[in-house]
Every structure is written in C-alpha cells, then in structure tokens.
Amino acid sequence: MKVIRAKNAGFCPGVKHAVETVYEQVKKEKKTQIYTYGPIIHNEEVVKDLEGRGVKVIRTEDELEALDEGVVIIRSHGVPKRIYDKLKEKKIATVDATCGFVKKIHKIVEEESAKGSHIVIIGDPAHPEVEGIRGWAGSKADVIHNAAEAEEFVCTEKCRICVVSQTTFNYNKFKELVEIISKKGYDISVLNTICNATKERQEEAGSIAEGVDAMIVIGDKHSSNTQKLFEICKRACNNTYYIQTLDDLDMNQLRSVETVGITAGASTPNNIIEEVQNNVRINI
C-alpha cells in the first residue's frame, strides 16, 4: 500500500491565523466572555474544542444585538460592514480574524462601489464569505454561482462592471463564468481574487487523484473549499471518499487498492489528517 499525502493539505495561513487568534484570546481574557461571530472556521471539531474552553458562537444579528459586553472575534470568512458598524455602536471589544485575502476583496468592492461600479461576485450566495463581501459592495451588486446565472445576467446601467471571486471558488469554473459575462460586451474589469493557496491545493489534489486507485478528501461537510476538492478529485478518481474524521472512513473500501491519495480542506486540523494517514497505512 502506497499512501500519497498532499503537501498543501490542511490549514491555510488565513485559517491558521484565525484559529490561533481565538486560542490566544482564551489565554488572555480569563475573566471576559469570548464570542466568535459565526463559527471561526468551517470545522465542527475545532468549534467543539473552543466551546469546551468557554468560547460561544454568535449565529445571528439578533444575538449580537442582545450583547452588552465581552470580546467578539470576527471569523475568518469575514462579515458585512454593518456588523463592524454595529459592534462599534455597541462599544463591544472586537478582534478581527478575517483572512487577509478576504479583507482585500472587501476593500476592492467598497472602493469600486464608491466609484459607481456594478459589482459581480463569483461564488456561492449562501456562503458566509460571499455574504460578507456582498455587505461591502453597496446597492449595485450581484452574485453569480453557475453558468445559467452568468448567461441570464444583465446590467441595465451604463457603468463599469467589476468582477471578483470567492477566495475558495473553483478556478476553472471562475474562468468559465467570466468568459460568459465578458461576451456580453460590457465595460468589465476582472479581478481573480481566488487565493493562491486554494488554486495550488486544487491543482495538487487533482494531480494526485489522477494517479491513485482511491482518494480520501478530509474536511467539514460545510466547508466550501473541501467540497470543491471533492468534486475535482471525484472527476479524476471515481473511488473518492469525503470524510470529516477517521470515524467516517470505511477501511474495507480500500482493501483492494494499491495506492491511496489524501488531501484535506483549508479548515482541517493537522491531527485529523495524520490520524487518517497513519490508520490507512497500518490497517490496509
């Protein structure tokens, strides 16, 4: 049995920074309640561990409105501008753990909106990162998730269109949607805001999947970047398995294979990846 582990598996720099920020605050604020606005990252195991250390998750704006004190940590995915404004208005201590790549997009869409541009965000409208970006984009903004939506997109105003992307979006799909929009003849500016770590992770995972008998993708079921890794690997290797932890892996499915590839989403802790890798090597 040969096991190939992706070099780019596990925490990306933005996620690593966000998680470390919360643990640092836990050590620092012994007598102050710590909150994260939304789960700090998309990983149930990490969130459970932090909850065990007393960190509470604020899941709605109504919950934030009811808050009077404590420290609120902005999650790695970022939040709309109105959340920052609300925290400032309520004078709640805030620690910003937004990924640097995401913060850059916030700045871009805010500045472009101020110039009168119509913002197009390529991404999943239900994803918290996209919701956050949309909250910096002003009134003229659309989110496009697939080819059908790109074909249907119409801009009635005579203004410049600024296209950005969710940082974890599939790079090839992004290019496809941009091509569809570009053919409409608008004055368009395209900014590829997919983070380098995401593109490298996707390309490496696809390359590994093409050369193995089975592929294991590790990550939370709510993790957008992990879902995209699974889609990429599944196209290259039919025997691709999506798991959150070792408990989800059926070793019997791997008994007849000679090579196994392992990759993981950007919010998957290293200890979970190592546990899967070690058990596959021992038990197969």
Please count the other Cβ atoms lying within 10 Å of the Cβ belonging to residue 152.
Answer: 9
Task: Decide if 231 contacts 169 (C-beta within 8 A).
Answer: no
Residue 47: exposure state from Cβ atoms within 10 A (0-12, 13-18, ≥19) = buried
Supply the DSSP symbol for 75: P
Integer-rounded Cα Rg, in Å, for the chain is: 20
Match 């197969």 to its residue by tokens. Answer: 284
For residue 136, give the nearest of 108, 115, 164, 98 by alpha carbon: 108
pLDDT tens-digit series, residues 89-98: 999 999 999 9
Which among 267, 276, 275 has a CA at the least distance from the CA of 216? 276
In tens, the pLDDT along 48-87 reads 999 999 999 999 999 999 999 999 999 999 999 999 999 9
Question: First vs last Cα of the chain: how many Å apart?
Answer: 7
Q: What SS3 state is found at 62?
A: helix
* Residue 198 pLDDT: 87
Give the pLDDT band (50/70/90) at residue 217. very high
Q: Provide DSSP, 4-36.
A: EE-TT-S--HHHHHHHHHHHHHHHH-SSS-EEE
Closest alpha carbon to 225 in 201, 206, 244, 246: 201
Q: pLDDT tens digits for 193-205?
A: 999 888 899 999 9
Supply the pTM of this predicted model.
Answer: 0.87
> Which residues lie closer than 8 Å to 49 by C-beta, 6 or more apart?
none
Q: Which of 41, 99, 79, 13 is nearest to 224 (CA)?
A: 41
Domains recognised in the chain with CATH numbers: 2-10+196-283 (3.40.1010.20), 13-99 (3.40.50.11270), 101-190 (3.40.1010.20)
Please give the positions annotated as active site: 129
Amino acid at 101: F
For 218, the 3-state DSSP assignment is strand
Taking phi over 0 as left and psi of -120 to 50 as alpha, with beta for the rest, 280 belongs to alpha
Report the pLDDT value the prediction gives residue 284, as an integer from 0 to 100.
65
